[in-house]
Chain A
């Protein structure tokens, strides 16, 4: 089962919101992976420009085609 404080919190939240318990022995590893994602997102803070209008991905694909 999840063994870090954050992983325990995440497991509790998942149980409350979704009604799903840790399903297997790999669950701690899977949640621990999210801790790395959280750290990566923290490092991003303020570095990625945010558009007030969410950028349309399909439009961006067309805009980025070969000239």
Chain B
């Protein structure tokens, strides 16, 4: 296989090809480096390339396979990750000036699990400063640029993760999702992403933004890739008391392409109000594809949304303000202007309302699930209501009048962080300007297997996820 054909493999295909001896880890690494040298500067997706340790790991993987040693499910496959997961002795900048020289004292649980599964860590990727915008603007690093059109945003805050996977620089990447930061770049760059159930994936060693709503999740080309990655990432970690002790199922085993008998609620109302025609058209075609696989689609007005939206607006905002308070006092000038303003507003939230939002979170979740899943097994909704915007029209630092457009981008993703539900975003079409459109697939708590089963079935029926930007 040529380097060009290797990078077109999905993560699962690449890992399986390595396992069968059809390709070496070194060749996969060389193919990735070739793409990074070409697409990296065009997208500004890469912060740090760790070529030497990745080469060493590739040689070790090839030697292990040659010696017939047991291989992990990601053996030999190069990955890169949002620059917010600590690796002992290395710098994780969080896309900021404030953490520019911060050396991690321990390796994040998710990185350790990827290492143990045999993945090669090739370096770190662009992100919104402290994981706090929906676009990939970054006043310090420069903006990430969408591989489909560099004038447009990548989505954020896992901007480099979306761009690098879409541009075939790596086969998968970690992101984090506190209000949509995995799903938005997945949707805007035309790749697949998963925000797991709150607590499904441990967060030890990851930069915190909001203790109650932070999630670590993967971005990759296909739902099967997400299933493989989640199988490695999920599971209790003693160092993260918020991580769930539920057993981790075999997510890939659930991917049978069969949606017969599955009832899927199509969220309307607040999730489609004001949605652009290109988005609605893509969602309409997506429902046809799901129906072709045997699913029964039913329109659904989302329940208890006024409470969900109001409380969503309080929790992450207040927790982020708390985490950043000392730096906001001592070095406010080291933040980008829009980010500083966003954090600033969090200090105005009364403590009693923050406590109310948390105290009612369980009750709101129960009511949402009781009503939304009474007649359905899954829900779908557009990841964004609008087409992928340009970098200029969402740059609030350049023009504060863009603030509303910037903040509105995560309207369809934020609610599920408060609810803690698992959500995948998969490509479901392209808009009239040639930029991708994404669809969210939402499940009950810990129903990642069902979410990924539907996403995989959808991808067996469509080819949106196979399309690559011309870079």
- For residue B444, which residues in chain A have a CB less than 8 angstroms away from its CB? 64-66
Cα–Cα distance between A13 and B197 once the two chains are bound (Å) = 36
B198, A61: Cβ atoms closer than 8 Å: yes
Q: Which of A19, A40, A41, A49 has the most CB of B within 10 A?
A: A41
Q: How far is the CB of B14 from chain A (nearest CB, A)?
A: 32
B267-326 contacts to A (CB < 8 Å) = 304, 306-307, 309-310, 313-314, 325
- For residue A18, which residues in chain B have a CB less than 8 angstroms away from its CB? 325, 328-329, 347
B360, A29: Cβ atoms closer than 8 Å: no
Q: How far is the CB of B291 from chain A (nearest CB, A)?
A: 22
Known: A30-B345, A34-B345, A64-B444. A23 touches B340 (CB 8 A): yes
A24, B341: Cβ atoms closer than 8 Å: yes
A37, B329: Cβ atoms closer than 8 Å: no
List the count of A-B residue pairs having beta carbons below 8 Å apart. Answer: 152
Interface size on B, residues (CB 8 A): 55
B341, A26: Cβ atoms closer than 8 Å: yes
Cα–Cα distance between A30 and B33 once the two chains are bound (Å) = 41
A2-36 contacts to B (CB < 8 Å) = 10, 13-14, 17-31, 33-34
Kindly state whether residue B365 has any CB partner on chain A within 8 Å: yes
Residue of A nearest to B242 (CB): A58
- For residue A30, which residues in chain B have a CB less than 8 angstroms away from its CB? 341-342, 344-345, 403
A29-59 contacts to B (CB < 8 Å) = 29-31, 33-34, 37, 40-41, 43-44, 47-51, 54-59
Cα–Cα distance between A31 and B246 once the two chains are bound (Å) = 41
Q: Give the interface size class of chain A.
A: 35 or more
B329, A25: Cβ atoms closer than 8 Å: no
B362, A59: Cβ atoms closer than 8 Å: yes
Contact check: which of B310, B314, B362, B404 meets A56 at CB < 8 Å?
A: B362
B337, A23: Cβ atoms closer than 8 Å: yes
- For residue A33, which residues in chain B have a CB less than 8 angstroms away from its CB? 345, 403, 407
Known pairs A55-B362, A61-B199 / 8 extra A-B pairs, C-beta < 8 Å: A22-B341, A24-B337, A25-B400, A27-B344, A34-B345, A40-B306, A40-B313, A56-B362
Q: What are 22 sample pairs from A and B whose C-beta atoms fall under 8 A apart?
A: A14-B347, A14-B348, A17-B347, A19-B329, A20-B329, A22-B344, A23-B340, A24-B337, A26-B340, A29-B341, A31-B345, A33-B407, A40-B313, A43-B306, A47-B307, A54-B360, A55-B363, A57-B365, A61-B198, A63-B366, A64-B369, A65-B447
User: Using a CB–CB distance below 8 Å, which chain B residues touch chain A?
Assistant: 197-199, 212, 242, 244, 246, 304, 306-307, 309-310, 313-314, 325, 328-329, 332, 335, 337-338, 340-345, 347-349, 353, 358-366, 369, 373, 377, 396-397, 400, 403-404, 407, 420, 444-447, 450
CB-based closest 7 A-B pairs: A55-B362, A24-B337, A60-B362, A26-B341, A23-B340, A29-B403, A54-B359
